[in-house]
Structure 1
Amino acid sequence: MADNTGRDTNISTSDAAASGSIVKQPEGKITPMVSTNHSEKPEKFYGLNFKTWQQKMLFYLTTLNLSRFLSEDAPKLSEGLTDAQAVNAIDAWKHSDFLCRNYVMNCLHDSLYNVYQIHKTAKALWESLDRKYKTEDAGAKKFVVGKFLDYKMVDSKTVISQVQEIQIILHEILAEGMILSETFQVAAVIEKLPPGWKDFKNYLKHKRKEMSMEDLIVRLRIEEDNRGSDCKATTFVDAKANIVEYK
């Protein structure tokens, strides 16, 4: 077949398959040719950030069509199968489960590999990792929440630097999967303002319009700069007064 420029537009099935783009089916349909990409293999798991590693591992196994073996026991064969069919079905399941288990094992650090190699199926391995590290994640959540609740601002440090420290703790809380609305975060920072900021804290608490965290930081920065300027002016006046008194 030629187009209106006279060029031949015929593409053979073999050429299409070689290019990895399309495959022509016997009935004349053309479907995309999908290739499995193994580039998403997770990095080695060292025992930290289990939730993130687990999600990456699950996605990787899904691309390999092996994720079902993380929750699947050995098959119960239905009646009516011949001995050969039953053996083939079990062997096929064992082979896929073996692959799934070893894909997970090969993404464990050597120190963990030696601990978890006792598990003989992908499901047993996956459940053991889940029990161990989700429990530790729960402990990490309690720790970071406690760190946030115990944090107290002091007058001896700048307010802005202390707000930045609180923001880091809030980021850790969000990273653990706990949801905190921005309204809560703003109210918590206001509540933690140091004793010397009592009047300004009351002023902020009585404002009816909700503020974003960015708005709050701007207001605190302006207030802190004003206090610094007032302090310098007072010091200068006191110094002049002392000089006059001395004369």
Structure 2
Amino acid sequence: MSTVSFTPLATNLAHGEKPPKFSGAEFKRWQQKMLFYLTTLSLSKFLKEDPPVVTKGDSDTQRSTAVHAWNHSDFLCRNYILNGLDDTLYSLHSSVKTARELWESLEKKYETGDAVIKKFVVGKFLDFKMIDTKMVMSQVEEIQIIIHYLLAEGMEVNESFQVASIIEKLPPSWKNFKNYLKHKRKEVKLEELIVRLRIEEDNRKTKSIPHKRKLEDESKANLAESSHNHKRKLPNNEKKQGNTKKF
């Protein structure tokens, strides 16, 4: 509970970066940015505080000062939050009286949507499998993006789990290399794993170049031989119709 000795906000507070407008998606991320913004303005406590309690022993001046200071700061906090909403959501929530009520109302309404998104991202992560027809490093980047979304949704995904997941999701043609990584006694860091995968993929590219050239050369040789055999089968003196003259 607040006391009557309420100190009005200073006017020269340093402002943090204003968060983007919330339109109904990725509420948790927006909420964290808004909370930081309100903290830099010394207004975040109004998201949890109740109005000050004025006792019978307080003078009228004390009562008036405490209530006015609290109402003013709560008004600022509430409107900073409202201004962080897009126009449609602003109109929908502008009737809420206090910053705390507004904050709790937004949590109640949009955290359910975030739970659905979280389940979708988790499912996408579990279903993700690397394939041989795409570059491994590009697929590793896709996994890291999914993990980034998991972290943004507040899920704990430690580095060891990320490393094990990437190794387990390597494509079929990487089976031997995957087994090599899985049986290493020393724990592999994420950055080290990325470097190893990049080197391995570069080595595979280098080895595949002579093989491709050999296949191309064999294909050209077969084509040339086929063309030569075809020419040998043609008659040596082929008579052309229409060359005989009528007398």
Alignment of 1:200-211 (within 5 A): 200-211=177-188
Residues 169 and 59 of structure 1: CA distance in aligned 2, closer, same or farther (over 3 Å): closer
Amino acid at match of 1:116: H
Residue by residue over 1:71-98, the C-alpha shift from the partner in whole angstroms, topping out at 9 and shown as x without a partner, is 1223332232355654554344333322
* 8 Å CA contact 2:137, 2:198 repeated in 1: no
Matched residue SS, 2:20:
coil
* 8 Å CA contact 1:185, 1:213 repeated in 2: no
The answer to whether structure 1 residue 58 and structure 2 residue 35 are counterparts is: yes
Relative contact order, higher structure (CA 8 A, sep 6+): 2
The answer to whether structure 1 residue 104 and structure 2 residue 81 are counterparts is: yes
Among 148, 172, 193, the alignment partner of 1:195 is 172
Among 220, 227, 230, the alignment partner of 2:200 is 220
* 8 Å CA contact 2:18, 2:37 repeated in 1: yes
Matched residue SS, 1:75:
coil
Task: State how many pairs are aligned.
Answer: 215
Matched residue SS, 1:203:
helix
Distance 2:22 2:224 in 1: 72
Alignment of 1:1-247 (within 5 A): 35-38=12-15, 40-82=17-59, 85-87=62-64, 89-211=66-188, 212-226=192-206, 228-229=208-209, 231-232=211-212, 235-236=215-216, 238-239=218-219, 242=222
Identity %: 55
Distance 2:153 2:196 in 1: 25
* 8 Å CA contact 2:29, 2:152 repeated in 1: no
Distance 1:35 1:83 in 2: 29
Distance 1:155 1:38 in 2: 50
Q: What 5-or-longer segments of structure 2 have no aligned partner?
A: 1-9, 230-247
Matched residue SS, 2:141:
helix
Amino acid at match of 2:75: F
Q: Which residue in 2 is equivalent to 1:21?
A: none
Matched residue SS, 1:51:
helix
Distance 2:175 2:90 in 1: 55
Distance 1:34 1:118 in 2: 27
* 8 Å CA contact 1:186, 1:216 repeated in 2: no
Quote how far apart the aligned CAs of 1:196 are: 2.9
Quote how far apart the aligned CAs of 1:235 are: 1.9
Amino acid at match of 2:151: L
TM-score (norm 1): 0.70
Larger radius of gyration: 2
